Chains A and B, each alone.
Chain A
Amino acid sequence: MTIVKSRFFILILLFFSHFELYSNSLEKNIQELEKEIKEYINHHVLDSHDFNLLSYTKEDGTKFYLGIPLPVILWDDGLAIFSSSKFKHGKSVVKSGENFYKLYHGKIYKTDSSGKIYYDNNKNVINTSPIDFSITKGVVSIIFVSIIMFFLFRNLANSYKKNKMMAKGIGRFFEPIVLYIRDEIAIPNIGEKHYKRYMSFLLTLFFFIWICNMVGLTPLGINVTGNIAVTFCLALLTFIITTVSGTKYYWKHIFWMPGMPLPMKIIMAPIELLGVIIKPFTLMIRLYANIMAGHIVMMTLISMIFIFRNWIGSSLSFMLAFFIAIIEILVALLQAYIFTILSALYFGFAVEEEHDH
């Protein structure tokens, strides 16, 4: 019952974060509203340079934003650091040193003093962008999740010392999950002999993805694991660890498949080599696409309440959004599990030793 209640609470909060849409919907026609919603969703699923909680249009037509500005760090033949509030949500040009920068659709471009944006024939921006090392909303969320994880699991580790080998408090909930990853994911896939080396990575990976996914379901509007840069990094780590720990047997299987006739060996080598790259690539795309799609579907269904503006349509949209929210909780865990078990499987291939087939 309490779970259902808290879900309701989250959904209600979600509506608040869409307050902007609601206030606008009274004046604008449907086409404009749909366009705005599309932009809003597109904006949400991407990373942003400030941590916005909610925004709405005041009576005099100016927009009000509630949120925290974050530091912008640019590398453009020298370091440029300033607060993201200077962009005024893309309205003003920021001068830093000799250069002028403008925020346009979530991306920083180098412009002239007037802040003009140039387009090519396909409506793509042709202004150059500096290398952006900003502490964005995503980075803040990652730091936030990391701190939560650090204290959560250090607390669990300490509770063993205090309570004579028994976990206490919230650790009681996490201990079986840690053991599940060890006994059901690491040991069966990697093997009794080598699994210990990979435990730290697998555990951190699983809990990081899971907590990020769960945080993404809250009305804070965080989308960490639905960002290609994050999933790329995670998949890259899996790829690097697999490659580094590959035994002679593993590489032999890739380049010179034993037990095959010679022409087959020559055909198999590039296919297997491609597989080495495709494996982490699918990891990256799977996590990204699942979380991204989940966010888009959730937001679309919630927005539909404001588009329908009648009892039947809006309540149906609400029911659907509610239903999808529950499914997303499941997906959050499932995607973390899949990423972890597949990583463990690839490590298992890499450390496999010669035996009779």
Chain B
Amino acid sequence: MEKLITEFSFGLFFWHSLIFIGLIFLLKKFAWKPILDAVEERDNSIKKAISSAENARKEMETLKEDNSRILKEARIERDKLLKDAKKTKDELIDNAKEEAKLEAQKIINQANISIKNEKKLAIKELKNQVSLISMQIAEKVIKKELDNTNKQEEFLNKLIDETNIK
């Protein structure tokens, strides 16, 4: 211990303190501060890059999710549209069929009516014809009656039988 004290050189202590403290401040200004700042800046930029990459990934994921959701919705929409279209088509066909049926019925009815009318007209004409023919027959009969009454009667009956209206 005594040796340590006698060995202690005040001059060296003085110069060393001076130089070392000077060195601390010099290095602080010219080396440590720029180095630590640069390193910190670099660390921050790396951190930033990592977080932005993470964000981009997340965004991509949400985009993907959105995409698949939209696709799903579109598919549902399409299915619905197709279904609606089919329904409309069926309805249209049904309606058309119904209408056609009704139309046909109408036409048939009209035809029936016109047939009936035609028939009535025909009967009327036939009646007229018959009456005309009867008139002619009657004329002939009257003409013949003069010859033979019995035969005339017979003949008349026969004629009437023949001209039986159906």
Q: How far is the CA of A344 from the CA of B45 in the complex (A)?
A: 28
Interface residue count for A (Cβ, 8 Å)? Answer: 45
Q: Tell me what chain A mostly uses at the interface: helix, strand, loop, or mixed.
A: helix
* A230 CB contacts on chain B under 8 angstroms: 12-13, 16
As a 0/1 sequence over residues 3 to 22 of chain B, the CB contacts with chain A under 8 angstroms (1 = contact) are 01001111111111101111
Q: Return A81 CB to nearest CB of chain B, in Å.
A: 13
Which of A46, A161, A232 has the most C-beta atoms of chain B within 10 angstroms of its own C-beta? Answer: A232
A-B contact pairs, 5 of them (CB 8 A): A138-B12, A139-B11, A139-B15, A157-B31, A160-B35
Task: Check: B24 CB closer than 8 A to any chain A CB.
Answer: yes
**Residue from B17, B23, B32 within 8 A of A199 (CB atoms):** B32
**Residue from A139, A158, A196, A203 within 8 A of B27 (CB atoms):** A203
* B26 CB contacts on chain A under 8 angstroms: 150
Give the contacts of B26-47 with A (CB-CB under 8 A): 26-28, 30-36, 38-39, 41-42, 45
Are B11 and A182 neighbours in the complex by a CB distance under 8 Å?
A: no
Are B16 and A142 neighbours in the complex by a CB distance under 8 Å?
A: yes
Are B23 and A150 neighbours in the complex by a CB distance under 8 Å?
A: yes
Are B27 and A200 neighbours in the complex by a CB distance under 8 Å?
A: yes
Residue on B nearest A147 in the bound complex, by CB = B23
- A-side residues, CB < 8 A to B, are 46-47, 73, 131-136, 138-139, 142-143, 146, 149-150, 153-154, 156-158, 160-161, 165-166, 175, 178-179, 182, 196, 199-201, 203-204, 208, 227-230, 232-234, 236-237
Are B24 and A204 neighbours in the complex by a CB distance under 8 Å?
A: yes
* A146 CB contacts on chain B under 8 angstroms: 19-20, 22-23
Are B41 and A153 neighbours in the complex by a CB distance under 8 Å?
A: no
The 3 closest A-B pairs by CB, nearest first: A153-B31, A160-B38, A157-B34
- B-side residues, CB < 8 A to A, are 4, 7-17, 19-28, 30-36, 38-39, 41-42, 45
* A233 CB contacts on chain B under 8 angstroms: 13, 16-17, 20
Are B20 and A132 neighbours in the complex by a CB distance under 8 Å?
A: no
* A132 CB contacts on chain B under 8 angstroms: 9-11
* B36 CB contacts on chain A under 8 angstroms: 178, 182, 196, 199
* A165 CB contacts on chain B under 8 angstroms: 38, 41-42, 45
Q: How far is the CA of A236 from the CA of B13 in the complex (A)?
A: 11
Are A229 and B20 neighbours in the complex by a CB distance under 8 Å?
A: no
Q: Return A180 CB to nearest CB of chain B, in Å.
A: 12
* B13 CB contacts on chain A under 8 angstroms: 229-230, 232-233
Q: How far is the CA of A263 from the CA of B32 in the complex (A)?
A: 47
Are A139 and B28 neighbours in the complex by a CB distance under 8 Å?
A: no
Q: How far is the CA of A133 from the CA of B20 in the complex (A)?
A: 16
Q: Return B128 CB to nearest CB of chain A, in Å.
A: 124
Q: How far is the CA of A35 from the CA of B54 in the complex (A)?
A: 73
Residue on B nearest A135 in the bound complex, by CB = B15
Are B32 and A228 neighbours in the complex by a CB distance under 8 Å?
A: no
* B23 CB contacts on chain A under 8 angstroms: 146, 149-150, 204, 208
Q: Return B84 CB to nearest CB of chain A, in Å.
A: 63
Q: How far is the CA of A203 from the CA of B30 in the complex (A)?
A: 13
* B4 CB contacts on chain A under 8 angstroms: 228
* B35 CB contacts on chain A under 8 angstroms: 153, 156-157, 160, 175, 178
* A237 CB contacts on chain B under 8 angstroms: 17, 20-21
Known: A199-B32, A204-B20; 7 extra A-B contacts, CB below 8 A, are: A133-B15, A149-B27, A150-B27, A165-B41, A196-B36, A199-B36, A204-B23
